[in-house]
Structure 1
Amino acid sequence: MIITRTPFRISFFGGGTDYPGWFREHGGAVLATTINKYCYITCRHLPPFFEHKHRIVYSQIENVRHNDEIQHPAVRAILNWAKVEKGVEIHHDGDLPARSGLGSSSAFTVGLLHALHGLNQKMANKDQLAHEAIHLEQNIIGENVGSQDQVSAAYGGFNRIEFHHNDSFEVSPVILPPHRQDELRDHLMLCFTGFSRIASEVAKSKIDNLKSREKELKLMHAMVDEALAILQDPQASIDLFGQLLDTSWQYKRSLSDRVSTPEIDSIYQAAMDAGAIGGKILGAGGGGFLLIFAKPERHAAIRERLNKLVHVPFDFDDSGSRVVLYQPNGL
């Protein structure tokens, strides 16, 4: 039995420039961190005593005889791509709901790939996991997704990730004094809007608009290094980071009319009225988690104003996808 633990992520700046349709021409960059909320994948070879060959347990339970009978698109694609012949049992558990803007789909893909490599008694490095997950999601499954989520899930940590024209990427850890990183974390709040969305559908609407939103995307790209400069300048007020988040959110909203909704706009404005400095909907948009940036002394008022939402405390994570149990022979 193999159990992997793969972190979810928060993307601060540069989202949208990680789509191949953009960075292959213009280059791209994001500033993102993983958090201490995880996707867990349990995987083992299934003994040949059952009518079914594979058993997949997530929000549904699938018992199937052939790979092509699997309804879960990522599991079906990964098992076919990996040429899995022996029966397997796969269990998925997540700390937070799927389709919520935290990179949960890519965390699942990376975690399952990591588990299958372990089941085959092979060690997969972070670069391999990220590249394989990107290939599977974009080319095999055919999702309208960028490339940042897979990299964050595989590598973990607080990183500036640069995407090059030739599909390669470069991961540069963000080095901050502990007190500055704590200051950033203490200004952040994570709230669930209460509704999820199909990220690929929202993303497609943005991809279709890439050429007409060139100015906005170039500005969003530039904000990655502007935000880094704020964090790394000991004299700079951390509030400037929050103000930049607000500016970035306004640009992100303009990429597609599906990124925000009247409900999201109302929630965001309520947070701002209660003292928030900035924020954004995480992921492709359309629902999921709202990240809020506010002075710690304003958090109670914001929670009270948004008392119908689920507020999720979190910390930063730097571990990336990990094998937390390795017993390939079931012993």
Structure 2
Amino acid sequence: MIISRTPFRVSLFGGGSDYPQWFQQHGGRVLGFAINKYCYISLRHLPPFFEHRHRVVYSKVETINSIDEIQHPAVRHVLREMRVDQGIEIHHDGDLPARSGLGSSSSFTVGLLNAIQALRGRMTTKHYLAREAIRIEQDVIGENVGSQDQIWAAYGGLNRIDFHRDGNFEVSPLVLPKDRRDAMIGNLMLFFTGFSRIASEIAGKKIASLEAKTAHVKRMMAMVDDAAQILNNNQADINDIGRMLHEGWQLKRDLTDSVSTPDIDAIYEAGIKAGALGGKLLGAGGGGFILFYATPDRQEAVRKALSKLIEVQFDIDSSGSKIVVYEPDGLQQR
């Protein structure tokens, strides 16, 4: 049995510039962090006592004899790409719901890649996991996804990520004093809106609008530099991060009319009215988790204003995708 644990993520600034359709022309950069909420993938060779050859368990249970029959696109394509030729059983468990703006689909892909490599007795690098997950999601499956989620899933941490026109990327950890880091995290509040959405569909509309909204995306990229300077300067007002989140959300929701909805707008306005300095809907838009920046003296008021929503406590994950159970010597199918 192999079990991989892969974090979800919170993106703060620069979203949109991580789509290859953008950064191959202009370059891109984002700032955010992985969180200590995880996707778990358990994997083993399926013993030869069943009528089916493969079993895949997620929100559905699939029992199939051929990889081509697997309905889950990431599982089907990853197993094909990695030329898995033995019977296999895969279980997925997540700390938070899928389709919620936290990069869960990329965490799944990264975690599955990591687990399969471990089952084969291979150690793998974070760069390989991120690069291969990006390739599979964008080029093989053909989803409308950016390139930041896979990197945070693989690397973990609080990072600035730069995307180059040639397709390469750089991950630069933000090294902060503990009190500065704790102050930022302590001012962030995460709520589940209760709405889920198909991120690829919304992202497709966003991608189509990027060139028409060039000034928006370039300002969102500039906010990455501004935020890094604020976080790294102990004399700077850290609450400017909250004010920048508000500006960034206004820019993001103007990219396409599918980013927000009247219900999302009402939730955001309630949080701001209660005293939050800023916030944003995470991920492509349309639903999922919403993040607010509120100083400790205003958080109870924000919590009361959003009492119908589920709040999730979190911290930064520093390890990225890792193998947490490695017991490779189970019964193998021959």
Q: TM class, shorter-chain normalised?
A: over 0.9
| Structure 2 residue 285 is the aligned partner of structure 1 residue 291 | no
The one-character-per-residue Cα deviations of 1:203-262 (angstroms, maximum 9, x if unpaired) are 000001111010100000000010111111111111111000100100000111100111
Matches of 2:271 and 2:257, distance apart in 1: 21
CA distance in 1: counterparts of 2:44 and 2:144, whole angstroms: 30
Instruction: Indicate the residue corresponding to 1:208 in structure 2.
Output: 208
Quote the Cα distance in structure 1 between the aligned partners of 2:175 and 2:241.
16
| SS in structure 2 at match of 1:317 | coil
- Taking the aligned partners of 2:96 and 2:2, their CA distance within structure 1 comes to 21
Moved over 2 A (4+): none
| Match in the other structure for 1:147 | 147
SS state at 2:22 partner = helix
- Deviates further, 228-237 or 110-119: 228-237
What code does the residue aligned with 1:227 have?
Answer: A
Task: Tell me whether 1:318 sits opposite 2:314 in the alignment.
Answer: no
| 1:276 aligns to 2:281 (yes or no) | no
* Cα distance between partner residues in 1 of 2:184 and 2:118: 36
RMSD: 0.7
Give distance in 2, aligned partners of 1:170 and 1:5: 23
- Residue 267 of structure 1 corresponds to 267
Classify the secondary structure of the residue corresponding to 1:50.
coil
Over residues 174-216 of structure 1, what are the superposed CA-to-partner deviations in whole Å (9 max), with x where a residue is unaligned? 0100000000011000000011000000100000111101010
Shift of 1:330: 2.5
Q: How does 1:163-178 map to 2 (within 5 A)?
A: 163-178=163-178
Matched, 1:307 2:307: yes
CA shift at 1:146, angstroms? 0.2
Amino acid at match of 1:292: F
Name the SS of the counterpart of 2:71 in structure 1.
coil
2:211 counterpart SS class: helix
Distance 1:82 1:292 in 2: 40
Gaps of 5+ in 1: none
Shift of 1:292: 0.3
Corresponding residue number in structure 1 for 2:257: 257
Query: Which 5+ residue runs of structure 2 have no aligned equivalent?
Result: none
Using the alignment, how far apart are the partners of 1:173 and 1:78 within structure 2? 29
TM (normalized to structure 2)?
Answer: 0.98
Deviations 1:298-323 (A, max 9, x none): 11111111111000011111110000
Indicate yes or no: 2:230 matched with 1:230.
yes
Alignment of 1:36-115 (within 5 A): 36-115=36-115
Question: For 1:104 and 1:63, how far apart are their aligned partners in 2?
Answer: 23
- Amino-acid identity (%): 61
Equivalent residue, structure 2, for 1:136? 136
